[in-house]
Amino acid sequence: MGSRRNFLEKLTISTISIPILYSPTKLFAASTAPYEGPILRVAIMGLGSYGTRVAKAMESCKRAKLVGLISGTPSKVVKWRAKYDIPEKNCYNYDNFDNIKDNPDIDAVYVITPNALHKEQTIRVAKAGKHVICEKPMGINAKEGQEMVDTCKAANVKLLVGYRMHYEPKTVEVIKMRKAGEFGKLKFFQGLSGFTIGDPTQWRLNKELSGGGAMMDIGIYSINGARYMLGEEPIWVTAQETKTDPIKFKEGVDETIQFQMGFPSGAVASCLSTYAMSHLDRFFLNGEKGFVEMRPSTGYGPIKGRTHKGELTQPHITHQTLQMDGMAQLIFEEVQPIVPVDGEEGVKDLKIIDAIYKAAKTGEKVSL
């Protein structure tokens, strides 16, 4: 299995072939010491609520800078240009953004649009020769995700997915503890991801734009969390869907899905993804030697958690700031986070989502 250092393992590099890991020392030092390295110049595509959050977080980045805008709403472009001092030549709409191929001032585009638009937009950005950061889920199914990966490879650009938790300090500390064997043989993971969704007309409840319902939006956190907390890939899934409001949650838009995953070691995961219940943001991991509980586990923070050894005390830093600085370092220096944030990682989650939907529909255990 970016955002999202007292949280990554330092690795002494002895040969050029060994991958570099993100250095926590260097990251925290970057907060106080002047940074003089390369800056990742980013255009944000999609100036909605999450795009706004990313842009604000990037104001604190040392290695990444917002330099361009892509939007279908001219009034938003005007407002953002004034706020972030974006030159007009770096602003595009959804019809003409292919022209970024001729703009040397933009290195990468962060695609933050409805799920069903990700594939086409990512492919267009890649063909324009720019690196792509795509918000999750990267597509509406694994087939789409793999097409995106293949296109970016052919274009010789990087495809990264907005896995901010892979850079979050408490999360990374837990992964380090697991890697060090501090929980012993792992037995069980529980992931609860959900909130009560509001406006019934929003794109998240439109299957043509979202590709599904709560699973695509919030359930993916428990899927990804199970994988990085257990350190394994699931080999089977089962799932059960519950729908109490078929008016709000139309055909193909899931309201609540309970799902289970089995892993090669014998560990199991029991998870809940819902748009109908609030206060659900909890991970729990149990092993023969210890445990970890994180609540909130994936919200914007601060993340809180405790293990059998006590409270997790790593500092809260805005997730998207860490993510964008981390991704800049990955693009320029091949410095990898403790859990990948590349397109292949995104495809793995989409394969599991495909299997969960199949299991919920058929009532059968689906092998992966």
* Catalytic machinery residues: 136, 221
Helices (H), the chain: 24-30, 49-58, 74-84, 118-127, 142-154, 169-179, 207-210, 214, 220-230, 319-333, 343-362
For the beta sheet containing 64-70, the strands, ordered from the edge strand earlier in sequence to the opposite edge, are 91-92, 64-70, 40-45, 108-111, 131-134, 159-161
Two structure tokens written together for 120 = 């086409």
State which H helix or E strand residue 293 sits in.
strand 291-294
Among left, alpha and beta (phi > 0; psi -120 to 50; other), residue 291 is beta
The one-character DSSP state at 361 is: H
Q: Which of 325, 321, 302 is nearest to 313 (CA)?
A: 302
Two structure tokens written together for 361 = 């529909």
Strands 186-194 and 310-311, sheet pairing? unpaired
Q: What share of the chain is helix, strand, coil (3-state, %, to 5)?
A: 35, 20, 40
Are the C-beta atoms of 113 and 46 separated by less than 8 Å? yes
Please state, in angstroms and rounded to a whole number, the distance separating the CA atoms of residues 357 and 366. Answer: 10
Two structure tokens written together for 201 = 């007309």
Q: Which of 74, 97, 75 is nearest to 110 (CA)?
A: 97
Please state, in angstroms and rounded to a whole number, the distance separating the CA atoms of residues 337 and 68. Answer: 26
